[in-house]
Each structure stands twice: as C-alpha cells, then as structure tokens.
Amino acid sequence: MLYQLDDNNLAFPSVNFALTEPNGLLAVGGDLQAKRLINAYNQGIFPWFSENDPLLWWSPDPRAIIKLSDLRINRTLRKAIKKAPYKITVNTAFEQVIKCCANAPFRNDDTWIVPEMQAAYVNLHQLGYAHSIEVWQINNNDTAEPKPALVGGLYGVAINGFFSGESMFYTQANASKFALVALAQLLTSIAVDFIDCQLLNPFLADMGAKEISRNNFVALKETAITKVSPENFWQARELFISAHSDTSK
C-alpha cells in the first residue's frame, strides 16, 4: 500500500510500510516545507523524484552507509591529499554546490535536484540543517588577487550527529573525494560513526560504502541523532584534511 500524505499533516507512516518494488517507496504527496523535511530525515526518510513525477518519499532496504572507520583513502588519493592542490571549506557556498550537483556533467539521466528541491534545501541550509563541503582550485594567473574556482563538493542534511548525504559533484580530479574525506574527518572529530549514503553506487562503494538492513540503519540513526554537535560546529570556515587519519585504511 502506498501512502498519500496529507498536506495539513506532517506525519509519515512507519518505514516498515515501504514497498519492496520499487524498493523503499513509502509515500507520495505532501510538500517540501522545512518542518516536513526535518521530520522525514529524523525517521530516515528522504524525497527523491524527477521533474514530471509527484513528490515521492523513500526508505530503501538495504541502506547504503559509510562507516567512517572504513573510509578508503587509497595510495593515489593519499598522494593527492599530501600535495594539497585544493582549498576546502564548509558552508561557504551552499547554493553554488547544490546547483553544481544538479548540473553535474557526469549525470546521464534527468536530475532529481529540480528547482523546487534546490529551493527547499537552500531553506534548510538557512535554518541550519543542510550543509555543504566545497573544494576550490586557486587560479593565480599572475594576478594580484587570485580567484578560487569551485571544482567539487557535496551537500546533505544533519540532524545532530546524523548526516544524510544528498549529492556531490566534481569537475577536477579527486575533487569529490576530497570533499568526502573532509566531511568524514569533520564528523569523526565529534565521534560520529557513519554517513548515510542512501543508495549505493560504484563511487561510494570504492570509498568504502556498504549496504546494511533498514533495521540496522534505523538503530544506527537513532543513536546518531542523540549526539548533539558543538555550538558553531557547522560555521563557515576553511577545513584541513589529513592523508593519514583514523578514518583512512
């Protein structure tokens, strides 16, 4: 049974009612107002739909996560990190990142990050729930004021210690990997154990993501949500990453 959400009620059905085909489809309808989105992520539910689809809500089984202790920083990536070719920041260009993710050149299908979704997550960012990691290439060009170019990044939603990754992009080698490593090391600093990746893909699998059952995911998510991040943890600033850390294998 597919649940139709009530525009006047922010409640979701239990994730146990999600369909097996298509995997994880739980509900249809509602809207993308901030309170509904926050309620959804609190339950491990996320919206995902194409431009011509109704608003669809998902809780797949299995669920993809990266345990931060299993994050893979291979030899090539370690060498790249040591060369420090990029500047990395958090929450300095959220709108740029989400637009770049929506128009990432490697996408072969229609993006689900439609203008309605972009506006909803920009609103979540302004409310302190959605966050971005930015990767910049500094172009000197013999100018007095070198201008950085955004060449990679990611964004997602954080409910206390629970971080659900939404999308990433890159236009230069390893830039999205730098963003993921930066996020992992940032979260590790406050004893967060995993990143929710929602659905597995080859890139995430190469970085150490694995699938777990929905029940196991819900248990991990409930623990993570109890971890309150320090004040100003997500403040806009530059981040520095290490090629050798507790998150690398």
Question: pLDDT tens-digit profile of 119-138?
Answer: 999 999 999 999 999 999 98
CA–CA separation, 25 vs 58, rounded Å?
5
C-alpha 228: how far from its chain's center?
18
Tell me 245's DSSP state: S
Res. 105: pLDDT tops 70: no
- The reported pTM is 0.93
The first and second tokens of residue 199, run together, are 């659905």
Q: What percentage of the chain reaches a pLDDT higher than 70? A: 93
Question: Regarding predicted confidence, which is higher, 248 or 76?
Answer: 76
39, two tokens: 């309620």
C-alpha 49/C-alpha 47 separation (Å) is: 7
**Residue 107: its pLDDT value, please?**
55
The answer to whether residue 144 scores a pLDDT higher than 90 is no
- The architecture CATH gives domain 3-60: 2-Layer Sandwich (3.30)
Q: Distance between CA atoms of 20 and 200, rounded to whole angstroms?
A: 16
Query: In angstroms, rounded to a whole number, what is the distance separating the alpha carbons of residues 211 and 54?
Result: 27
Q: Tell me whether the omega of the peptide bond preceding residue 60 falls within 30 degrees of 0, making it cis.
A: no
Q: What's the rounded mean pLDDT across residues 219-231?
A: 95
Nearest to 120 by CA among 87, 145, 94: 94
State pLDDT tens for residues 167-208: 999 999 999 999 999 999 999 999 999 999 999 999 999 999
| Cα–Cα distance for residue pair 157/192, rounded to 1 Å | 14
Q: How many residues does the chain have?
A: 249
Asked whether the predicted pLDDT for residue 213 surpasses 80, the reply is yes
Confidence of residue 143 (pLDDT cuts 50, 70, 90): low
pLDDT tens by residue, 14-52: 999 999 999 999 999 999 999 999 999 999 999 999 888
What's the mean pLDDT in 234-244?
Answer: 94
Which amino acid belongs to residue 221? K
What pLDDT sits at residue 249? 41
> What is the domain class of 64-239 according to CATH?
alpha beta
| pLDDT tens string 43-75 | 999 999 988 889 999 999 999 999 999 999 999
20 within 8 A of 1, measured Cβ to Cβ: no
Virtual CA dihedral for 78, 84, 89, 95, nearest 10 degrees?
Answer: -90
pLDDT, mean over the chain: 93
In order, the DSSP letters of 93-154 are -HHHHHHHHHT-TT--S--S--HHHHHHHHHHHHTTSEEEEEEEEEE-TT-SS-EEEEEEEE
In the chain, list all ranges with CATH 3.30.70.3550.
3-60
Q: Which residue ranges does the chain devote to CATH 3.40.630.70? A: 64-239
Q: Which tokens in the block code for residue 56?
A: 């669809």
pLDDT for res 110: 67
